[in-house]
Amino acid sequence: MNTSLSPFATGSDKRLWTKLLAKYRTPHRGRSTFELAITVIPFCALWALSWVAVHYQFWPGLLLTVPAAGFLLRLFMIQHDCGHGSFFAHRTGDDWTGRAIGVLTLTPYDYWRRAHAGHHATAGNLDERGVGDITTLTVGEYSALSFWRRLGYRLYRHPLVMFGIGPIWLFGLKQRLPFGMMRAGKEPWVSTMATNLAIAALAGGLIALVGLWPFLLIHLPIVILAGSAGIWLFYVQHQFEETHWSNGSDWDFREAALHGSSYYDLPGALSWLTGNIGIHHVHHLSSKVPCYRLPEVLRDFPELREIGRITIADSLACVKLALWDDDRRRMVSFGEVRVRA
C-alpha cells in the first residue's frame, strides 16, 4: 500500500477516500457469478437434506436448518449488493438477481432498495432518522416522553423484541405491504405484490412436494434464524458505543460513514457467510464496492481496521445501549440515564 495517499498519512480531508476507493468499485463478473452459485447451491442442498432428515429423524433435520439459515443470510447480502448496483455493475443483471433472491429472503427488492438508499443517505443524521434504520432516541427526547411512550420504546429496544419478534414482524408481515411508501407511486406496490405472489407460488410448490408440516418445520426456522442474524448485524453496525450522530447542520456524509458505522471484526468463516458486511464503515464510504472486494480495502489500508472496531465479545455489550447522549457523544443504556437522573 502507498500510505502517502492515505488520508490518515497525509492528514487530508476525508473526501480523498472517494478517490482512493474508486478502483475497488469494479466487480469481477465471473467472481460474482461464482459467489452466487456457491451460495444458492449449498442453500438448496441443505434445504433438501433438512427435508430428508426430518422425514426420517426429526432432530437432525432441524439442526441442518442452522447452516441453511447462514446461506440464506448470505443470499440476502448478495441481494443487498444488487440493490447498490455493485454485484454485477449491470442494472438489469443486478435488479433481476435481487428480485429473484427477494422471493427467498421475503424481501421485495425494489421497495427495500429505495428504503435502504434512504438509510445510506441519512445515516448518523439526527434530523433525518426513521428512514430504513433502527429507531434511536436521544436522552433528551426519551426523558420528554410520557410514561407509556417510554415503556413502548423500552419494549421496542428489548432484545427479545428486537431480535425475536422483530424478524417475524419485519420479514413475515411488514414487508408484505409497502409501508412508508403507500403513496410513492406504483413501483413499491408492484414490488411487494409481485414478490408476495412469487413467494406464494414457491411455497405452494414446496408444500405440494414435501407436505405442509415438513415445509413449516424446515422453512420457518431457516427464515427466523436468518432474519434474527440479519437484524443483529444491522444493529451492531450502527448501535455501538462510539458511533457517530450529529444534527443536520453539522452532519457530514463521510464522517458519518467512517465513524458512525462499525468494523465488526468477525472470524473468517463468519465474515464470508455474512458477505463481509462487518466491514461496514468502508461499505458506507463507498457502497459500490462489491462485498468480496471489501477485504482488499482493509488489506491495502490497514489503518481502517482500528476505526470503529468491535469484536464478537464487544458486540454483546451493545445490546444494552439504547439512547444517544448528545453531551457525552456516545450511546448509553437506560440504566446510565436512570443513575444520572
Q: What is the Rg, in whole angstroms, of the alpha carbon atoms belonging to the chain?
A: 21
Least confident of 73-82, 139-148, 245-254: 245-254
Would you say 302 and 296 are in contact if contact means Cβ atoms under 8 Å apart?
no
> What's CA 243's distance to the chain center, in Å?
16
Phi, psi for residue 310 in degrees, rounded to 5: -135, 140
Whether the predicted pLDDT of 218 surpasses 80? yes
Nearest to 82 by CA among 67, 58, 100: 100
Residue 331 backbone phi and psi in degrees, to 5: -80, 140
Instruction: Give percent of the chain above pLDDT 90.
Output: 82
Residue 36, pLDDT above cutoff 90: yes
Q: For the chain, give percent helix, strand, coil, nearest 5.
A: 70, 5, 25
Q: Point out which residues pair with 125 in neighbouring strands.
A: 246
Confidence of residue 296 (pLDDT cuts 50, 70, 90): very high
Collapsed DSSP state (helix, strand, coil) of residue 332? strand
Q: What is the pLDDT of residues 6-32, one digit of tens each?
A: 665 444 566 788 889 999 999 999 999
